[in-house]
Chain A
Amino acid sequence: QLQLHESGAGLVKPSETLSLTCTVSGVSISSSLYFWGWIRQPPGKGLEWIGGLSSSGRTYYEPSLESRVSLSVDTSKNQFSLNLTSVTAADTAVYYCARALPDFGPYDVWGQGTPVTVSS
């Protein structure tokens, strides 16, 4: 059964870098045609797409975040990661990783989400 699990620091200081990892179990990232993505949800607000990547490592970013975001994949660990630089309080949110169906499909499997607070 496919499962995704986010991990990383829950508290990040302003101007520092937020780093999260999504560990995938139940399917090999490298052998699939699926895409993988990160989505966040600030407290009391809606869903915001951050970026996505293919199993080969090709990346796609939300334009408003592109200057601060980088995604990467580690097929040996069956993980993919998010780095968001120069964070501010506006980056406080629950961060989700998710699997997208093949060929840029919708997100059909989600991790449970991890809350990240930006505060000094």
Chain B
Amino acid sequence: DIQMTQSPSTLSASVGDRVTITCRASQGIGMWLAWYQQKPGKVPNLLIYQASILESGAPSRFSGSGSGTDFTLTISSLQPDDFATYYCQQYNTYFMWRFGQGTKVEIK
């Protein structure tokens, strides 16, 4: 089975910081990777798909990169609204949609 591993599990940062979250797949998934943001008590929100395509309405400070097994989500300048948990997800491979365990971005 394919496994998705995110790092770090928790990240402390300040407003204005550049933040990078990593997601690694145990097997190659091409560019079939999405990133979601979830705030406490809220529904997950799709930010990026196909590794680097910004979903409509998502702020341009979010960007994604990678292919194969290694991927990153970058927030260029962290804003107060960005403190949340972020999940990667592989799709369109192996007939399943697996999530990473999540990365919580906290206020430093």
CA distance A103 to B95 in the complex (A): 10
Interface band, chain A: 20 to 34
Identify the stretch in B18-26, B41-49, B69-77 within 8 Å (CB) of chain A at 4 or more residues.
B41-49
Which residues on A sit within 8 Å (CB–CB) of B105? none
Contacts of B85 in A (CB 8 A): 46
Chain B interface extent, by class: 20 to 34
Q: How distant is A24 from chain B, measured CB to nearest CB, in Å?
A: 16
Once A105-B92, A106-B34 are accepted as A-B contacts, the answer to whether A47 and B87 lie under 8 Å apart by CB is: yes
Known: A37-B97, A47-B87, A108-B55. 6 other contacts (CB 8 A): A46-B85, A105-B92, A106-B49, A106-B97, A107-B36, A108-B46
A interface residues with partner B (beta carbon < 8 Å): 37, 39, 46-49, 52, 60, 62-63, 96, 100-101, 103-108, 110-113
B contacts, CB < 8 Å to A:
1, 32, 34, 36, 38, 43-44, 46, 49, 55, 85, 87, 89, 91-93, 95-102
Top-9 shortest CB links A-B = A106-B34, A104-B92, A46-B102, A47-B99, A110-B43, A106-B49, A49-B97, A60-B95, A46-B101
The contact sample of 12 A-B pairs, CB cut-off 8 A, is: A46-B99, A49-B89, A49-B97, A63-B1, A100-B91, A106-B46, A106-B91, A106-B97, A107-B46, A107-B89, A108-B46, A108-B55
